A and B are shown apart, each in its own frame.
Chain A
Amino acid sequence: MIELTKKYWVLYEGTTIKNQDYREEQSGKCYPGESIGYAEFDTLEELDAFVQANNLVYVEQDMPEQLM
């Protein structure tokens, strides 16, 4: 079982970051799904460097999906 336990982690699919709070210090443990990319870091600087190096971006979500 893959388990992330460091202070910072980023989850992504392609170049899209999935966890909105990726720049915040995390609590608890993360067990990423098998189909998702992930990386964990001890410092925010390391995380930012990884995000920049891999052109990862977080896309702000608008309102919740509107069901017609």
Chain B
Amino acid sequence: MITFYKGEDFTLTFTSTQDISGYTKSVSYFTPFGTPILAVVTPINNFSFSAKFAAVDTATLKAGALNVVVTFTDANSNKSISKAMPAQILDSLVNGNIRTADIPSTSLEIVFEQNTIALDINFVGLTNTQTTAVNNLPADTNGAIATLQNNINTEAATRKSADDTLTANLTTLTNNAEVKTNKTSDIYTNRQSTTIYPNVKGIADYIDNFTIKPWVLSFRKNGDGTGISTINITSNIDTTVTITNGYLYTDSLGNGQTTFINLTHNVATNVHFKVIKNNGFISTNNIIRIDSFTDRANSPIPYFSPANLPAGLTVLSWNGNNTGTGDIANLPAGLTYFVWQGNNTGMGDIANLPAGVTFFYWQGNNTGMGDIANLPAGLTYFYWAGNNTGTGDIANLPAGVTIFIWQGNNTGTFSGTRTWAQNMRKIYLRPAAGVFTSAMTDALLISLATQSSWTSEKTIDLRGNCGARTSASNSAVATLQSYGVTVLTN
């Protein structure tokens, strides 16, 4: 039994195996006690025709049994035969009915004297949607639906207006924030604004960068105290350098003795000084770089340790004959460039270096230790001498290392697998005795020969206590030579 839904357009096709063009066809339908409604019949060809049931009509039916009456009239005899096709009509889809029980086809036989016409009937052409079904519902006679619709429209308009207001406010706030951020940037560059409205981040950055951070570096008198040392420092603010128990000069020869030296923000400045007592010290503020220290005969020797460096220091290049000591774990957190030479007796695990260090150069008499796998991830330059007892597999160096120079009492190894950085420059290894085997030397050379990009020094030096290379690395050495790399081995 074919099932229909109220308020739908639908079409039935009637198909016979014999020519039925000689008959006039009509199709009507009705529910019990209802008035029959004529479907619109349209011939398809000599064997079939269609009957369309209009949604506006099906909406008026009552749910239940539906009689579809097919009438054939012989054009010659004007004799008609009708036959009812039982069907069922259900309430429309508007209340959530799901079209799952449709039976899309049925059949019907019309006996016309000796001629029996067999018809296959198919349900096709459902064109309406649920919306159509809604639109075809009976009129809203009491206005309840219209009232509800008006209420919905009013509420939607109110909410849209509120959304528009919020969007406008957000745009205004964003624009204001941008303006204030720009003003904050002006502080950094011009350092002269007093009437400003920096945003919260700007305030935090400003406080962090420009709050006065005093720094005092103590020295002891050396020899007769006549020599002049020089330190090159940079502050991120305009400030001064003063000295206690000593003298400042405008050059390293002792000219221009003065009581203070001006530092212009972000300008590296040489400060020349000498001390006349063992408790001499220089005082200044907000130092972000120490680019060099030069001592001379009878010149002051600083008491230096990582723990008393300026908190905001990013660059440390501490050379000369410094006798500093201390743990590198106490280096300023923002340090990116670390050079500690001289006669230092520093110590500590390289795993505790500040995370942003990219340049690591540690000489002197340091007793540092630790696994090179724990070096800062962004490291590109590695130079570690002194009395270090470092460990680890060279294969585990940070990926970007292009200079690797490792001396001291290290017990480094090489496991044989590594992807080397582009623009490799130098490998120099001097391990403790009996650690780095011939097999490791061969493996390291073979691995390095996989990188064809070399620049500057272009040197691999695996002498000292490195195991002698064997014929296993002949091809690798030849390849490296072809890249312009000089190889030195035992």
Contacts and interface: CB of A to CB of B under 8 A. Distances in A.
Interface stretch (B58-66, B114-122, B212-220, B477-485): B477-485
B51 interface: no
Contacts, number: 66
A33 B488 contact: no
Interface in A10-42: 11, 18, 27-36
Contacts of A35: 484
Give the size category of B's interface with A.
20 to 34
B318 to A, nearest CB: 10
Contacts of A11: 486
A64 B361 contact: yes
A35 B486 CA distance: 9
Interface of B: 291-292, 315, 317, 319, 337, 339, 358-359, 361, 380-381, 383, 457-459, 463, 474, 477-478, 480-490
A2 B337 CA distance: 39
B489 A28 contact: yes
A59 interface: no
Contacts of A32: 481, 486
Contact of A66 (B317, B463, B474): B317
B466 to A, nearest CB: 9
Given A64-B361, A66-B315, A31 B481 contact: yes
A67 interface: yes
Contact of B477 (A31, A63, A64): A31
Given A1-B474, A28-B489, A63 B481 contact: no
A66 B489 contact: no
B129 to A, nearest CB: 68
Contact of B383 (A1, A30, A64, A67): A64
A33 B478 CA distance: 9
Interchain residue pairs A-B with the least CB separation, the first 9: A33-B484, A35-B484, A31-B487, A28-B463, A28-B490, A33-B486, A33-B485, A32-B486, A1-B478
B486 A31 contact: yes
B486 A66 contact: no
